[in-house]
Amino acid sequence: MSKPPRITLIHATPIAMEPIRLAFASSWPDADLVNLLEDSLSPDRAKQSEITDALTARIGFLATYARQIGSDAVLFTCSAFGRAIELAAKSVDIPVLKPNEAMFEAAIRRGGRTAMLYTFPPAREGMEVEFREEAARIDPTALMESFLVKGAIEAVRAGDVETHNRLVAEAAARLSGFDSIVLAHFSTARAVPAVQAVTDIPVLSSPDAAIAKLRNLIG
């Protein structure tokens, strides 16, 4: 019997950890998970208008460490480091996934217009670039519009998940004319049931899509 694949999850904030843990417990319970939390990354990123060389080097170091401990794949769970993660992926010989890569692919394959609900402003620009790059590869007609859910990330950081989910759901309820809704961050995935309760638009989240892609990549 072959041993389960080791997947290292690299977190820049504690609020991303629970959603991906629950998603693995549901979809891939026998995966050998390693959690690396470097919780200065998120506040340090929030202080910068763009991803600096120093932040890029830190992301690369974490991917290299994950490789050194025998990981079969790496999944970053913070959506504000896209370019740095792309560079890190080139430095190791195992799959390294950006958090929203698989979710964006799934939304683009649905076609039409996607609404992205995001709660962490520094992540927006990079994620929009990622979406456009994926769309150019898969379906150049796909479009995405972003909507900031104010106060949601502050609520969940304070432990008030109920308010976070309510704010995200209220933002979703105001949307119409879209073919899919993507919840931008791993931390936002906890709002999926609340969002599904207020809209008929298909809702996609990063953790579930990422796990599906990892299973396809490494089995």
Q: How many CB atoms are located within 10 Å of the residue 36 CB?
A: 18
Q: How many CB atoms lie within 10 A of CB 113?
A: 17
pLDDT tens for 1-41 read 578 999 999 999 999 999 999 999 999 999 999 999 999 99
CA distance 4 to 30: 6
Contacts of 45 (CB under 8 A, 6+ apart): 12, 51, 55, 78, 80, 81, 122
Alpha-carbon gap, residue 7 to 61, rounded angstroms: 16
Distances (CA, A) of 96 to 90, 131, 218: 9, 17, 11
pLDDT digits 0-9 by tens, 137-189: 999 999 999 999 999 999 999 999 999 999 999 999 999 999 999 999 999 99
What average pLDDT is seen over the chain?
96
CB 202 within 8 A of CB 181: yes
Percent of the chain with pLDDT over 70: 99
CA-to-CA distance for 79 and 122, rounded, in angstroms?
Answer: 9
pLDDT at residue 208 above 60?
yes
120-125 average pLDDT score:
93
Domains of the chain listed by start with CATH number: 6-98 (3.40.50.1860), 100-205 (3.40.50.1860)
pLDDT classification of 209: cutoffs 50, 70, 90: very high
Whole-prediction pTM: 0.90
Q: What's the average model confidence in pLDDT over 85-110?
A: 96
